[in-house]
Amino acid sequence: MKIIQISDTHFSPSKPHFNGNWEPIRRWIEQVEPDLVVHTGDLTIDGADQEDDLVFSMALLGELDIPVLAVPGNHDVGHMPGSHQPIDDTRLDRWRRLVGPDRFAKDLGHWRIIGLNSLLLGSGQAEEEEQFNWLVETLADLGGRRVALFAHKPLFVDDPMEGDTGYWGARPTERQHILDLLSAHDVALYASGHLHWAWQGKVGRTKLVWAPPTSFIIDKLEREMPGDRLIGGVIHHLGEDATSEIVEVPGTIAHVLDDVIDEVYPRTVSTLPGEAAE
Ligand SMILES: [Fe+2]
Ligand SMILES: [Fe+2]
C-alpha cells in the first residue's frame, strides 16, 4: 500500500504565490497512484482567519480522484495561547465545516492510519484532553494492525529530550505523553510537516519523517535545521514495515520565503521571531 504525504501547500486565492506548484504536485500524485493522500497541514496561507483560503484550497484538493485526508496546521486553525492567532473554537469549527474532522483514524489492510491535530497539544483547550483520550483508545484496539501517525508539527527538532522549542515542536510534557504511546504500541511511523525541511530519522522503534513543503523553503529567516530544503512530497510504502521516500517533485518552483514574506506574511511589531513563517 502506498500513501502520499503532502504538506504546507499554503494555498490562497488572494495571495497566489505558491498555488502554481499544485499542478506539478497533482500530476505527480496521479502518476504514483497512491491508495490515499494525507495532507499534514498549513493547507492555506491564512485559513485561521480567512474562510476563502479554506474554500479555495479544498477546491484544489478536490481535483484529485484519490481519497484525501487532512490534519490542520497552525496557519489553518491557529497556534499556541498568546500567539497572534491562538487556536480556538471559532477556528476549529471553521476547519471542520469547510475541510472536515481535525483528526481521523482509518484502517487500510493491516495498517491503522491516524491523523492528529498537533495544534491542540499544549494548547490548554478543552479538546486537548478529549483528543488525547481518543488517541489512547484508538491505539488500545488495534487488532494486530501496525500504526502510521500523521500530524502537522514534529514532536521535536534536534533531540527528543530537548526543552520547549515553542513554535517548532511539541512541549516536553505533551511530547513525552505521545512518545510513551509510540513506544507502547510499537508505532511504525510518525510523519509531520511544519518545518519546511525534509528529513528522516528515528525515535525508539518509530520512524520519523518530515515531509518537504510544496510551497516555499526558508533561507536566512530561520535557523538551519537537520535535513534538506526542497519542494515535493513523500511516498510512504506500508508493507510489513514502513519505508518512506522523500521526493523532489519535477516542475515545482522552490519559492524562498525570505523574498516574499512581506507580501505573504507581513510582520507586525508584535510578531515574534518565527511567528510569521511555517
Ligand atoms: Fe506550520
Ligand atoms: Fe508551513
| Residues near ligand 1 ion, CB 5 Å cutoff | 42, 73-74, 194, 278
Distance between CA atoms of residues 238 and 188, nearest Å: 9
At 267 the pLDDT is: 81
CA angle 193, 11, 114 (to 5 degrees): 35
Position 126 pLDDT exceeds 80: yes
Helix, strand, coil proportions of the chain in percent (round to 5)?
30, 25, 45
Q: Which ligand is nearest to the CA of 74?
A: 1
b/e map 12-48, b = 16+ CB within 10 Å: beebebbbebbebbbebbeeeebebbbbbbbbbbbbb
Distance between CA atoms of residues 45 and 68, nearest Å: 19
At 31 the pLDDT is: 98
Interval 139-172: pLDDT, tens: 999 999 999 999 999 999 999 999 998 789 999 9
Give kind and range of the element (H or E) at residue 30: helix 22-32
* Percent of the chain whose predicted confidence (pLDDT) is above 90: 92
Residue pair 236/35 in contact by the 8 Å Cβ criterion: no
Interval 65-98: pLDDT, tens: 999 999 999 999 999 999 999 999 999 999 999 9
Q: Which ligand is nearest to the CA of 196?
A: 2
Task: Show the domains of the chain with their CATH numbers.
Answer: 2-277 (3.60.21.10)
* Percent of the chain whose predicted confidence (pLDDT) is above 70: 96
Q: Report CA(152)–ligand 1 centroid distance (Å).
A: 7
Interval 247-259: pLDDT, tens: 999 999 999 999 9
Position 30 pLDDT exceeds 60: yes
> Which of 19-33, 204-218, 262-276 is least confident?
262-276
Q: Which of 109, 116, 102, 101 is nearest to 189 (CA)?
A: 116
Residue 28 grid coordinates: 505527480
Distance between CA atoms of residues 121 and 142, nearest Å: 23
Interval 181-196: pLDDT, tens: 999 999 999 999 999 9
Q: Report CA(129)–ligand 2 centroid distance (Å).
A: 25
At 166 the pLDDT is: 77
At 274 the pLDDT is: 53
Q: Report CA(141)–ligand 1 centroid distance (Å).
A: 31
Q: Which of 146, 81, 150 is nearest to 109 (CA)?
A: 146
Position 277 pLDDT exceeds 80: no
- Extended beta strands in 51-205, E state: 68-70, 104-108, 111-116, 146-151, 189-192, 199-203
